[in-house]
Amino acid sequence: MKKIALLLFFLPILLHAQQPLTMADAILKGRSAFAPANLRQLQWIPGGSQFTHVAGGKLVRLDAAKPAVSDTLDWLPRLNEGLAAQGKTALTALPALNWFDANNLWFQNGADIFTWMPKDGATAFKTRIPADAENTDIHPKTLDAAYTSGKELRIARGENTVLVAQSEGEGIVYGKSVHRDEFGIHKGTFWSPSGKKLAFYRMDESMVTQYPIYVLDSMPAQQREVRYPFAGAKSHHVTVGVYDLAGGKTIYLQTGEPAEQYLTNVSWSPDDKFILVAVVNRGQNHLWLNQYDAATGAFVKTLFEETSDRWVEPEHPTEFVPGSNTDFVWQSERDGFNHLYLYNLSGKMLRQISFGNAPVTNFIGFTENGKRCFFQMADDNGLNRYCYTAEVYPDNGIFRLQTDAGIHNALPSSNGEWVLDLYSSPSVAREISVIPVKKPEKRRVIFTAPNPLKDVQLGETRLVALNSPGGVPLNARLILPTNFDPNKKYPALVYVYNGPHVQMVTNSWLNGGELWMHRMAQQGVAVFVLDGRGSDNRGYAFESAIFRQCGDAEVADQLTGARYLKSLPYIDSTRLGVYGWSYGGFMATSLMTRPEAKGVFRCGIAGGPVIDWRMYEIMYTERYMDTPQENPEGYNKASLFNYIDNLDGRLLMIHGSSDDVVLWQHSLRYIRECVRKGKPIDYFVYPEHLHNVMGKDRVHLFEKVEQFFMDNLKADEGVRP
C-alpha cells in the first residue's frame, strides 16, 4: 500500500519506576499531581522591571534587570493586621493579589474587596459582593462589582447595592451572556474605562422555543424549561443598555432592525463617549462595526463592513491604543488568516500590523505608552505558537521573541522592555524565562518544572503529517502501547472531535494528549488523534471547508487517518475503534454508519452526539450550515438518522439527561429509530449531568469507555487476519 504519511518525529518519554496509571488517577490527577508545576500568581508590578509570584504562602519579588535581586515577603500577617484593625475576618492563606501600580494592590477576603498599600500597611474596605451574586464583573480601578441575582442586574458599591434592571417577565434576561456564548461572548456586562457607566445586554427570549429538562429527585418527577433556539426557528432579540451610575438612568443603543441580529464584541472608547458593537446579520455573512453615542444611544456611523460568501465571525472586541481616544486594533480573517489591523474612529484603516499564512491566536496587549504591542501567532502548520512584538504606528515589521519549537505564551511588562515567556514542548513540561525585548537572544530561564510523569508508564508519542483529500497536510498524534513491540499487532482507538474552534494536536507537553489516552496505551491499545479540515488555527479556507456540508470533509479526513493506521505493520486493521464527544459524537456516529466508512471501525462510542443539525442551536449551526430552509440537501446528508441501516459494529451512545447544549432528544430519537429498525445499540445515561460528565462521575465515564473498548477491541487478541 502506498504510504500516505510523513513521519515528522517521535518522542520517547523515558520510563523510571514504570508506575501504571489507574483510570481514576488519569482523570482526577491530570490537573493536580500529574500536572506540571508552575509559578503561582505570576504578574508584573506596573511601571518597572519587577515581577512577583507566590511560593510557600509568601510573595516572591524578583527584578528582571537584576537577576540577583529577589525578596521573599511574608505579607499574610501584615494583611491580617490591617483586617483586624477594621474588625474583619482574618485570612487563612495569602489571597490573590492584584497590583494597581507599584505601590498599591487589591485583594478579596470572602465577599469583601480591599485595597492595601504594602509600604505602610494601609488597608481600606471597598466593596462587598452579596452571597447570591452571579456573573460578577469587577471594575479593575473602582472595584465596584456588577452582578446578577435572580432576575435582577445590580451593582455593588461599598456596603450597598444599586438596582440597574429587573426582568419584566418570563424570558427577559439582563446582564448575562447572550447568543449562546458564540462570537467570543462570555459575559453580559461591560464597564466603561472610568467605571462611571455600565453597558449590559438585555435579552428577550420569550419567543424562543422552550425545552424540558428532567428533574430527577422530585416526587413525582418535574421538569424545568430552558429556552433553546433551533436552527431555522425564531431567535432571541438582544439590545444593549447603558447605565449611568451618577444619574441612575439607563439608555439603550439604537441598534435598529432586524431584531434577529447578533450584537457582538461590545467595547468602549477610552474617554467613555462611545461604544463600538460588531453587528452581525442572522445569516452571519455580513458584519458592521458600528459606533454609538454612549450618552444618548444614538447610532453615529458604521466604521467598516466585512462580508463573506461563507461566514464572518468576530470574536474579539476592539482594543484601543493607550493614550488615544480614536485608534484601535481590530482582528479579522479577511485575508484568510486572523490578523491585526490598526483603525481609527473615522473608519480609516491606518495599517495592517500582522501578516502571513498563519493566524494570530492571541492579542496580548500594548505597552503602557501605546507605542508597542505584543501578540501570539501559530506557525504555518499550526503546531507551534510564538510570541511577536511590533511597533503600533511605524510599519517596521514584526519581530519574533522565541526560537524554540513548542508553545510560547508571553506576559510583557507594562513598559514593554521585558517579557516573561511561558513555554512547553513535548520534552519540556513547563519553563518560564525572562526575555529582554531588545535582545531576545539573552533569554534567561528562571523556572523549570520537573517532569511530573517521570515515574509513570507512558506510551511513546509520535507526530504524523497526512495528506488530506482536500490537498492540505493534516496533523495527527499516535500514542503507541507501552512496552511496544513492532512485531506484534495492536488494536487502535481513534479519538475524534474535528469540529470548529478545537485543535487537539500541538507541539506542547504530551503533544496535547490526555492521560486517559496513556491509560489506554497501558492496556495495549494505540491511540490516534487527527485534526482534520474544519478544526482550528489553520486559516479560514481550512476551517470553512465544512460550509453547508458538515460531516463530508471531516469524514474524508478521518478515513485518511484510518487508512494510515491500517498501513502500519503493527496495527491490526480489523480492530479499530472510534470515540468522540459533542461534535466528536457526531463524527463517531458518522464513522460508524456513513457508507464511505463502512467496515472501517469495529466499534465506537458517541457521547452527547449531534444527530441532526435541525435539532441544534441557531447561532452555531446556521454559521456552518445556513438554515434548513436554505440548505435542505446539506441538512439531509448530514442527518445521521439516514444511515442507521449501515450500522454493523458495536455502538455505545452516552448522554447527560440535563444536557442543554446538545439536547437529550438527539440520542433518544436515535435509539428509538435503532429499535424500530432492529439495529442493536448500547446506551448509557448520566442522570442530571449537563453536556459534559464532570466531577468524580467522570471517572465512572472513562472506566466505562475503557471497558467497552477492552471488550470489543481486545476480546479476540491473538487472532490475526
Write the single-letter amino acid at 609: P
Measured between alpha carbons, how far is 610 from 638 in angstroms, rounded to an integer?
10
Secondary structure of 595-610 as H, E, C letters? HHHCCCCCEEEEECCC
Residue 691 annotated in active site? yes
Residue 468 near residue 558, CB atoms below 8 Å: no
Pairing verdict, β 444-448 and 461-467: unpaired
**Residue 270 corresponds to which amino acid?**
P
- pLDDT tens profile 631-690: 999 999 999 999 999 999 999 999 999 999 999 999 999 999 999 999 999 999 999 999
Burial class (CB in 10 A: 0-12, 13-18, 19+), 416: buried
Question: What is d(CA 596, CA 79) in angstroms, rounded to the nearest whole number?
Answer: 66
Catalytic residue flag (residue 582):
yes
All structural domains of the chain with their residue ranges: 5-34+453-713, 37-128, 133-317
Q: Which of 660, 636, 697, 625 is nearest to 310 (CA)?
A: 625
Spell out the residues 6+ positions from residue 134 whose beta carbon is closer than 8 angstroms to its own. Answer: 147, 148, 149
Pair 532, 543: CB distance under 8 Å: no
**Pair 467, 4: CB distance under 8 Å:** yes
Which of 582, 590, 658, 667 does the annotation list as catalytic?
Answer: 582
Candidate list 508, 659, 666, 689, residue with the active-site label: 659
**Cα–Cα distance between 717 and 492 in angstroms, integer?**
12
Name residue 174's beta-bridge partners.
Answer: 202
Strand-by-strand arrangement of the 5-11 sheet = 5-11, 461-467, 473-479, 526-531, 490-496, 571-581, 603-607, 650-656, 682-686
Q: Which residues pair with 163 in a beta bridge?
A: 154
Spatial separation of the C-alpha atoms in residues 364 and 138, rounded to whole Å: 20
The residue to which cell 500594548 is assigned = 366
Angle at 247 between CA 241 and CA 250, to 5 degrees: 15
**Contact of 525 with 709, CB cutoff 8 Å:** yes
DSSP string, 307-327: E-SS-----S--EEPTT-SSE
Note the pLDDT of residue 714: 86
Point out which residues pair with 424 in neighbouring strands. 407
The arrangement of secondary structure in 5-34+453-713, i.e. its CATH architecture, is 3-Layer(aba) Sandwich (3.40)
SS3 585: helix
DSSP assignment letter at 196: S
Contacts of 279 (CB under 8 A, 6+ apart): 255, 261, 262, 263, 264, 287, 288, 289, 290
pLDDT value at residue 68: 85
pLDDT at position 717: 65
Is the peptide bond prior to 258 cis by the omega test (within 30 degrees of 0)? yes
Look up the pTM and report it: 0.95
Cα-based distances in Å from 386 to 72, 325, 443, 580 = 32, 30, 14, 30
CATH 3.30.365.10 applies to domain 133-317? no
Cell numbers linked to 673: 429509530
C-alpha 550: how far from chain center? 21
- Helix ranges (H only) for 422-551 are 515-522, 540-543
Q: What is the pLDDT of residue 2?
A: 36
Q: What is the pLDDT of residue 205?
A: 98
C-beta separation of 516 from 479 below 8 A: no
Which one of the listed residues 286, 501, 691, 700 is annotated catalytic?
691
Are 475 and 383 contacting, i.e. CB atoms less than 8 angstroms apart?
yes
Which residues of the chain, if any, have pLDDT below 50? 1-17, 718-721
User: Taking the CA of residue 242 as centre, how many other CA atoms within 13 Å lie in the half-sphere pointing to its CB?
Assistant: 26
Pair 465, 8: CB distance under 8 Å: yes
Task: Identify whether 659 is a catalytic site residue.
Answer: yes
CA-nearest of 538, 460, 535, 478 to 504 is 535
Round to whole Å and give the CA distance between 607 and 582: 6
Q: What own/partner pairs with CB < 8 Å and gap ≥ 24 does 481-488 have?
A: 481/521, 481/522, 481/523, 481/524, 481/525, 481/526, 482/457, 482/458, 482/518, 482/521, 482/522, 484/459, 484/460, 484/570, 485/570, 486/569, 486/570, 487/570, 488/570
Cα separations (Å) of 589 from 415, 548, 560, 595, 675?
52, 19, 17, 12, 16
